[in-house]
Amino acid sequence: MALIKDILRTMDYGPSPESSDHVRAWLLKHEGGFGPFIGGRFTKPRELFDVFNPATGERIARATQGSPADVDAAVAAARKALPKWAATPGEERARVLYALARHVQKRERFLSVLETIDNGKPIRESRDIDLPLVARHFYHHAGWASLIESEFPGTRPVGVCGQVIPWNFPLLMLAWKIAPALAAGCTVVLKPAEYTPLTALAFAEICIEAALPPGVVNIVTGDGETGAALVAHDSVDKIAFTGSTEVGRAIRKATAGTGKKLALELGGKSPFVVFDDADLDSAVEGVVDAIWLNQGQVCCAGSRLLAAEGIADALTSKLRARMARLRVGDPLDKSTDVGAIVAPAQLERIERLMRAGAEEGLEIWRADDALPNRGSFYPPTLVTGAEPASVLMREEIFGPVLVSTTFRTPDEAVALANNTRYGLATSVWTENVNRALEVAARIKAGVVWINSTNLFDAASGFGGYRESGFGREGGREGLIEYRVADAPWGKPNPAKAPALDVLPGLAPADEGATGIDRTAKLYVGGKQARPDSGFSYAVLDPKGREVGLAGLGSRKDIRNAVEAAAKATSWAAAMAHSRAQVLYYVAENLSARADEFAGRLQVTTGASRRAAAAEVDASIRRAFFYAGFADKYDGAVHATRSKFVTLAMNEPWGVMGIVCPDEAPLLAFVSLVMPAIAMGNSVVAVPSARHPLSATDLYSVLDTSDVPAGVVNIVTGEANALAATLAEHDGVDAVWYVGDAAGAARVKAASAGNLKVTWTRSALMDWPGAEGREFLRRATQVKNIWTPYGE
């Protein structure tokens, strides 16, 4: 028997197991298997699959493999419950969410033990991190439920939500999805991960206990086929998915053209940046939390360590010493630091990637390879000497593996951090506050932690850039994902895309009506440019007479325009006040030429003199409106954890593709382009194919209004073909499309390549009223920066 004096000297930990008796009894009660939870009750189990404890390999339960019929029944129950739940006053929905939070808290120990048995994560993490956050999300969104009418005026619940969650944080991801949906007035069909369905099924019992109305929450278990059936269901209005980038890309394609709202929170390869003035001891503890939390099975895990060259050796030495004291073993032991990998398949994936890294000659270090003799375990691992192209530096391992490299300058650190297709999170360690905030602004990630890592709160949005997905969960920006505008844009657009004729021989319009002949070129990088194809097409008036020529843009013209837009980085970096002054100047110059633009609209569209003048006047007002908003669309400071200021910064997407409709050719162009550039984006705009000359006439307005070269680029031609090219282009960060249904569907499907965000509309629009914060919100993404504040 060890003596106390020896224990105090060695600081060895004895076993400290958490009892699982109550959980075992609950599982025994359901040994016949779990059926889906539909319409407020559990249905009869049918085809069952096994659920295993990853720490032991033993079967602990069986759950139903959800069939298309189960999904149909769950969606039908959610659809039936929707009208009443959506009409329920916010304060009453708040009471239900408060009840769910309280019932979760009352069963924290039971749920944390069940989560650990089902998932393999250490009990300390389930008990001290996951469950408190679960309750926090329900409490927080109970508050939103009571405020929804005043804080989100002019919106309504999106409807029936299909939610698919991963296996790494089973109950927490459930809370992230269900709490805002219920607060917003939506109903839910949730599919938990096949590996970890048990806490979701326990939560279903809590829904009954808390008197949640039947059908508001439905839970269908199963594998990817069950999830696919839910995604494809015609009666689902929104899909919210957290999981791998590959599956997210497939969902983006599957939902294209369906009208479903979509939010994706996907993979990551997050950088952990340590500068030479950082507190190294604190940084080492940060690394432990960043990569060995939940065995590294965290989408935002700090899996890439970027260390300043001058302190890299010292940091590595301290890190190895700390790794030597990490305890790997029974997740139910409160002394365990690193638990089990969720399943043998995931363990094999980790081992396969590590073999690939070893074949590249990377140095792989582990403190101790001794692991439990059963279950799926992998030791904490440090990989050094990695290059940016190394497989372990590029691929998301999703295991307890830290890959390290060095940098010399802050610019190199930012370049290395951004050298990934992902953009979920980053952690920056430095004692220099100026450097911390500068680097935070330059790294492309949805969440930045300064001198901290893996901090979460229901009041702060979470989500990524680029192939880490789009949309946010948590806070105001997460709740708006479950609301839509009260009034739709209008009736479906019946117009067909015009046939663009490059052949001569069309009868010209009356000379007196058009003035001189006009051949409009493309506008790229601040200069007029001939189309690469060498072709122009005839622009016709409503009577079929030629009123001018416009360039027939091609894929190469889009490429040139995107390159020009990408070079216009000074626009985003400029003061918002400076951008506002430029937009005011655009409005003033457009106003000075109002009669000329009105005359062009009369000839090309056949509008009356009064209607043409009204469109120009509305366009001028629209430019003034967004000039005023350029320095007034503020971010926020979220009320998250004490000792932190969480800054929610509105950042431009970067390069935006904007495809305009035929109706209101000048006003629609101005209404879409102005909010985008007001927020600091640069734009590749495709004007109305039928009536492009009103947009191309803006060349000279832009040239004389101090708009920097490349901020606005205009490519005329076949709108749908050019829209697809923009959606496919990896250099384009977001696409707005207003046109027909086929074009909208094609844009969404094509955007799956780099998972760029899209905003598409295939309905006629009341363009005189098309302005406001919705356009500004769509022109930005939110970066949440966690900054230490106070003692």
Q: Which residues are tagged catalytic? A: 265, 299
Q: Are 271 and 416 in contact (CB under 8 A)?
A: yes
Show the tokens assigned to 90. Answer: 């916010």
CA–chain centroid gap for 397, Å, is 20
550 φ/ψ angles, rounded to the nearest 5 degrees:
-135, 150
Q: What is the DSSP string of 175-197?
A: HHHHHHHHHHT-EEEEE--SS--
Q: Are 65 and 47 in contact (CB under 8 A)?
A: yes
**CA angle, residues 310, 289, 362, in degrees to nearest 5:** 55
Spell out the residues 6+ positions from residue 219 whose beta carbon is closer than 8 angstroms to its own.
36, 37, 74, 189, 190, 191, 192, 200, 201, 203, 204
297 DSSP assignment = -
Q: What is the DSSP string of 701-724?
A: HHHTTTPPTTSEEE--S-HHHHHH
Q: Are 479 and 152 in contact (CB under 8 A)?
A: yes
CA–CA distances in Å: residue 605 to residues 498, 540, 665, 762: 14, 9, 9, 21
Say how many C-beta atoms besides its own lie within 10 A of residue 634's C-beta. Answer: 9
Residue for token pair 């997407």: 653
CA pair distance 755, 736, nearest whole angstrom = 14
CA pair distance 442, 388, nearest whole angstrom = 18
CA–CA distances in Å: residue 566 to residues 148, 559, 709, 712, 755: 39, 11, 11, 11, 18
3-state SS of 57-90?
Answer: CCEEEEEECCCHHHHHHHHHHHHHHHHHHHHCCH
Show the tokens assigned to 567. Answer: 């070079």
Pairing of strands 238-242, 41-42: unpaired
Show the tokens assigned to 486. Answer: 């009260």
* SS3 at position 591: helix
CA pair distance 646, 449, nearest whole angstrom = 9
CA-nearest of 576, 624, 684, 642 to 791 is 642
Spell out the residues 6+ positions from residue 321 whose beta carbon is closer than 8 angstroms to its own.
none
Q: How many helices (H) and strands (E) does the chain have?
A: 30, 32
Say how many C-beta atoms besides its own lie within 10 A of residue 609's C-beta. Answer: 11
CA pair distance 455, 158, nearest whole angstrom = 29
Q: Are 270 and 304 in contact (CB under 8 A)?
A: yes
CA–CA distances in Å: residue 461 to residues 216, 662, 782: 24, 37, 8
Amino acid at position 84, single letter: K
Cβ burial, residue 95 (10 Å; 0-12/13-18/19+): middle
Q: Are 74 and 36 in contact (CB under 8 A)?
A: yes
* SS3 at position 682: strand
